[in-house]
Amino acid sequence: MKTIKLGTSNLEVPVIAVGCMRIKSLNKTEAERFVRTALEEEANFFDHADIYGGGTCETIFADAIGMNDDVREKIILQSKCGIRKGMFDFSKEHILSSVDGILQRLKTDYLDILLLHRPDALVEPEEVAEAFDLLHSSGKVRHFGVSNQKPMQIELLRKYVKQPIVANQLQLSITNAAMITNGFNVNMLNDSAVDRDGSILDYCRLHDITVQPWSPFQYGFFEGVFLDNEKFPELNQKIDEVAAKYEVSNTTIAIAWLLRHPARMQPVLGTMNADRLRDCCQAADITLTREEWYGILLAAGNVLP
């Protein structure tokens, strides 16, 4: 498995992150097989959040992997906090209590990375900074990042937070690629020219913040997957054509498309299918040509100006 540096840290991580949001849907045997498959593929970076399954996903994962000190040192754990029922909460009290709960459920003493999950409109960055300092100095969290934040929200945090922001988890797929397409529709009077995220992709690249695309197979907001979907005939035809060339699945090519971008992204998978996980991991060994990458982009309905 190819690796990258996570942000400005010295943490070497696989280019594929294994998302555990749906692990609750698996029985014990299935969960154990899934986790074992990930480790066999050297995809040892596991992404969690305290809200996934109301916390049960972290518990199920810890049991499935047989968490102990030896296992812990061989994996990289990331979790997120900040979403509560009916609100977002970046208060110092909530961040600290959330991390304690996460660590207890994951049966570990520390997180490699903690992300703030969804921007809190009532954030007091001074409180976030205090929470991060306590978590870092106590050894409970080694690195910090955000999720779904745009440049000025990150800048506000950086004014107070001492620790580097190493990652930003953002929705991105072939069919949800506005953060890419608005970059070449500059000064155009079309919908694709609208900058909806403050040029977050360029910002992350400028500040060495690793982009972690979530829902890499989804279109819309959890409306479904675009692969083998009759709503996207041209796109699937193009992906299948490229997949045939490399003798891999269409799943592999969808992830390879993200990895081809020079931002050195780390896609977060959502699949709970062990065989599909293997297909995704194959993408680490494929580098699409410029023609193939643009061909897939255009087949998704994007137009070059």
| Catalytically annotated residues | 52
Distance separating alpha carbons of residues 297 and 1, to the nearest angstrom: 25
- Residue 282 near residue 254, CB atoms below 8 Å: no
Reduce the secondary structure of 260-277 to three states and give it as a string.
CCCCCCCCEECCCCHHHH
Q: Are 146 and 191 in contact (CB under 8 A)?
A: no
DSSP letter at 145 equals E
CB distance 270 to 225 below 8 Å: no
Q: Which segments of 20-137 are extended strands (E)?
A: 45-47, 76-81, 83-84, 87-88, 111-117
CB atoms within 10 A of CB 162: 10
List, in sequence order, every residue forming a beta bridge with 128; answer none if it has no partner: none
C-alpha dihedral sign at 171, 176, 180, 185: negative
> What does R_g of the chain's alpha carbons equal in angstroms?
19
Q: In this structure, which amino acid lies at residue 148? A: N
Residue 76: both structure tokens together: 């990289």
Q: Strand pairing of 12-14 and 3-5?
A: antiparallel
Q: Are strands 111-117 and 76-81 parallel, antiparallel or unpaired?
A: parallel
